[in-house]
Structure 1
Amino acid sequence: MTQRAEGRSGQGIVVRLYVAIVVLAGVMGFVLGSIRPENLQPRLFGVLALPPTPLGVAIYGLVTVGVGLGALLALVMYVSARFDDAAAN
């Protein structure tokens, strides 16, 4: 028989960490866009050109990091759900 640990779940902590990292990427993008370095031309996934403004670079950071880490997080959650099911049988 397995006992559930009291307190926060590991999945909830990982999701909160994911959200914090994505928000941090957006904030850093805004700061970088505010500095306005030369040749700053953000292209979302190499296709959609975004304006080199603080908001454009923040969106670039949010979406790029969000999708990249989100895909990895979804894969880990999928594998962990399958592993738990296999271990229970």
Structure 2
Amino acid sequence: MSDQVDGRSGRKIVVRLYASIVVLAGVMGFVLGSIRPENLQPELFGFISLPPTPFGVAVYGFITVGVGLGLLLGLVMYVSERVDETTPN
């Protein structure tokens, strides 16, 4: 069977959705950093301190969401390539 339906690959759609979510997390981080709530101290992975500026919080959003979703997406892609598509009847 073909991996494409109507000229679109499922993998490409998922990767585009992943990229959109990561960009959205960065944009929302920038907005949150612009508001400057009290006690805002972003730390990557619990030990890398970032400045509580709009760009610092945007970087925090990009990296944390990118790594978290990226690991899950990579795991799903790894498993999907190794699972036999035929099921016993």
Question: With structure 2 as the length reference, what TM-score do the two structures score?
Answer: 0.90
Q: Distance in 1 between matches of 2:36 and 2:6?
A: 48
1:20 aligned partner: 20
What corresponds to 1:63 in structure 2?
A: 63
| Cα distance in 2 between the residues matched to 1:6 and 1:37 | 47
Structure 2 portions without partners, runs of 5+: none
Matched AA of 2:78: Y
How far 1:7 sits from its partner (Å)? 1.6
Equivalence for 2:85: 87
- CA distance in structure 1 between the aligned counterparts of 2:78 and 2:58, rounded to whole angstroms: 29
Percent identity over the alignment?
Answer: 72
Q: Secondary structure at the match of 1:67?
A: helix
**CA–CA separation in structure 2 for the residues paired with 1:5 and 1:49:** 45
Q: Give the distance between the partners of 2:40 and 2:10, measured in 1 at CA.
A: 38
Give 1 or 2: higher strand fraction.
Answer: 2
- Greater helix share, structure number: 1
TM-align CA RMSD: 1.2
Q: Is residue 38 from structure 1 mapped to residue 47 from structure 2 by the alignment?
A: no
SS of alignment partner, residue 26 of structure 1: helix
Structure 1 runs (4+) greater than 2 angstroms displaced: 2-6
1:53 equivalent to 2:53? Answer: yes
CA distance in structure 2 between the partners assigned to 1:69 and 1:25 by the alignment: 11
Note the residue ranges of structure 1 that are not aligned, 5 or more in a row.
none
